[in-house]
Amino acid sequence: MSNLGKTLSSSLGKKLVMGITGLFLVSFLLVHCAVNALIFLNDGGESFNRGAEFMGTNPLIRLMEIVLFAGIIWHIVQALVLTMQNKKARSVQYAAYTGNANSKWYARSMGLLGTLILMFLIIHLKHFWVVSRMTDEITSGRETLFGEMKEVFESPVVVFLYVLSMFSLAYHLLHGFQSAFQTLGFNHKKYTPTIQKIGVIFSIVIPTLFALMPIAIYLGIIQ
């Protein structure tokens, strides 16, 4: 195996991949959230549609989209490998295990939360990405992404599902954000508390904004 291959397949290397892809996905969330939040301008989706069009046509963004998918897949595959290894590292389970005494439930449940997010992601991609990239609905001008949004969020079940999924995302981020920095070796008495605070704010604000979108549309606050 090459030097890089050996490094990345070591326990620390795998963590490094999780951390870097994780932070990359965090940056994606920020951009995604910023663009989508344009709907709160309540201008009939005009700004939002323009933003969406830019994101859909700019070649650099399109390239990044591929990187993004690669990042998501890497993050998932690596998580699966790590989880399997971790399962193997304790072949006999404890009869009694009081995890809450020493760690947070969501820190111990990243795999579960991640799986929920993945399930959401599949549905979410079907709702929007497939429509905008795989069909000519939007390029042909028959439909706008904003219109698609309004259509999808007519269903209370979908809205409920989206909101619930944002809880998964929030808890996933609550641990993942600061964990990524720890993994990358960034732990410093003076700066770590700030990073942790930013992590908490990020994990609350971004998923909340995301969750407000379907709610607002469903309730007709955004026209």
Partner 1 sequence: MSGNMNLTLKIWRQKNGNVQGELVTYPVKNISPDMSFLEMFDVLNEQLISEGKEPIAFDHDCREGICGMCSMFINGRAHGPKEGVTTCQLHMRSFKDGDTIVVEPWRATAFPVVKDLVVDRSAFDRVIAAGGFISANTGNSQDANALPISKFNADTAFDAAACIGCGACVATCKNASAMLFVSAKVSQLALLPQGQPERYRRVQSMVAQMDSEGFGNCTNTGACEAECPKGISISNIARMNRDYFAAKICKEEEVN
What are the residues binding partner 1 (CB under 8 A)?
3, 7, 10-16, 82, 85-86, 88-99, 101-104, 107-108, 110, 175, 178-179, 182-187, 189
Query: Of the two residues 22 and 51, which places its CB atom closer to partner 1 in the complex?
Result: 22
Minimum distance, C-beta of residue 204 to partner 1, in the bound complex (Å): 20
Query: Of the two residues 85 and 223, which places its CB atom closer to partner 1 in the complex?
Result: 85
Query: Of the two residues 165 and 178, which places its CB atom closer to partner 1 in the complex?
Result: 178
Which structure tokens are listed for 131?
A: 């429509």
Instruction: Give CA–CA dist 37/39, Å, rounded.
Output: 5
Instruction: Give CA–CA dist 113/92, Å, rounded.
Output: 24
Answer for the pair 178, 195: CB distance below 8 angstroms, yes or no: yes
For 17, the enclosing helix (H) or strand (E) is helix 11-36
Give one DSSP letter per residue of 78-98, joined into a string.
HHHHHHHHHHHH-SS--S---
Minimum distance, C-beta of residue 35 to partner 1, in the bound complex (Å): 31
Minimum distance, C-beta of residue 63 to partner 1, in the bound complex (Å): 25
Query: Of the two residues 106 and 218, which places its CB atom closer to partner 1 in the complex?
Result: 106
